[in-house]
Amino acid sequence: MSTKLNVENARLLVFSKKKLILPLGYFAYLFLVRILLNDVLGDWLNAHISQDVPGSCVWALLKGIHWCLPIVLYLAWRRRLISYLIQKYGRGVQPWPLLFVPLGWGLILLLQDHGKIPPLTFYLVLNSIIVTPIVEEFVFRGFMLDTLTSLWGSRKSNMAQAILFSLNHLPWFYALGLFGQPLFLAGRLIFLMVFGLVTGYLAMRSRSLWLSMAFHAVNNLLASG
């Protein structure tokens, strides 16, 4: 009996390691792409793509493709794409009291800025308020969180995806020169980790991505200044 249990445990361990390659490998891919575009190619996106209306659409398209296409292709290969999209977007906002989380966060941000909404441009609305919440929630609170939850418990998985979400901003922070301000950088990373925990909780509790996307969009709208 003990031999059979040991063999089964060994199989589960190998299975877990193989499945862990998916989120970690995908995180490495995103991280390296951002380093490539920002550092190796000399801030290629900002240098070559404007932020006018056509340029904003190109930015949005590029982010959607390089963030989501690998996951979409993987799900399609596993014949899970349609069922996955229905699972994540087929439900309404349930339970409805969770709506107070993004609404409350928006109120806090408004009070903090004395009721002022930061100036909006087409680029900011399309990329930061629409595309980024859709794409990043699909990746981290969708694919990453689901894959990790199939290996670990929900709390550990939520913490793991929140840490990865925070660390994924490091290339951007480096491009902004924040590595010379370690305390400010640490504060931003902690905030992003907490942000990831909250949106992860909303995704798990509602079993969809609508609330986490709403929370993300409210934050990007009111904290963009």
* Helices (runs of H) and strands (runs of E) counted in the chain: 12, 0
Residue ranges covered by each domain of the chain: 43-222
Instruction: Name residue 68's amino acid.
Output: C
Tokens representing 30 are 């995103």
Instruction: Name residue 17's amino acid.
Output: K
How many residues does the structure list for the chain? 225
State the pLDDT confidence band at 212, using cuts at 50, 70 and 90: very high
Residue 212 burial (C-beta neighbours within 10 Å; 0-12, 13-18, 19+):
buried
Where do the DSSP E strands lie in the chain?
Answer: none
Res 100: pLDDT:
94
Has residue 8 got a pLDDT over 60? no
Res 118: pLDDT:
84
Q: Which of 21-30, 36-45, 115-124, 179-188 has the lowest mean pLDDT?
A: 36-45
Which of 31-35, 42-46, 195-199 is predicted most confidently? 195-199
The pLDDT tens digits of the residues spanning 36-53 come to 776 655 565 666 678 889
Res 44: pLDDT:
57
